[in-house]
Structure 1
């Protein structure tokens, strides 16, 4: 049985709920779902330029958890860009 998820501090939210290739109907696209904590992790590390330790404190998680979130988020964004998939943002809970 997995441990329960620690509540995370999520301050940022995406400007849009999804990004998709231009000119392709949404119904014909595969979707990649970016969770709110993954979005927050890349916002802090990649956009704001925080060190992972500082971003982990900001989110209230361990540095390793933050690193896992960043890795997962980057993979999903790359998959969406490289394979022409729609990137769907989950709202913060």
Structure 2
């Protein structure tokens, strides 16, 4: 049995390809962590705009549970990048793993 197809998620902004990394260290020497567009959108709606997960889910066209999973993943990835000094790569939904320059 194949998994259910992924539901289309409404995300504002186009941030694909942006990279946040520690200053002074070449990207090729850093671990790269991909933060997907839907994870960034959940962070923006809940943590920047201050919406409840239910409201964020309505704006994104997904359930509250999906928003919760996106937030957990996005916060973990962001914290890992900050603590370990890794590069945080903002990737689009269908982008593959980040490429080294």
TM-score normalised by length of structure 1:
0.92
Query: Which runs of 5 or more residues in structure 1 are unaligned?
Result: none
Per the TM alignment, residue 48 of structure 1 is displaced from its structure 2 partner at its CA by 0.7
Number of equivalences: 93
Render the CA deviation track for 1:11-58: whole Å, top value 9, x for unaligned: 134497010001111000000000000010000000111111000000
User: CA contact under 8 A between 1:39 and 1:73: conserved in structure 2?
Assistant: yes
User: 2:11 aligns to what?
Assistant: 10
- RMSD over aligned Cα, in angstroms? 1.7
Query: Which runs of 5 or more residues in structure 2 are unaligned?
Result: 95-101
In 2, Cα distance between equivalents of 1:13 and 1:50? 21
Deviant stretches of 4+, over 2 Å: 12-16
User: CA contact under 8 A between 2:16 and 2:91: conserved in structure 1?
Assistant: no
TM-score normalised by length of structure 2:
0.85
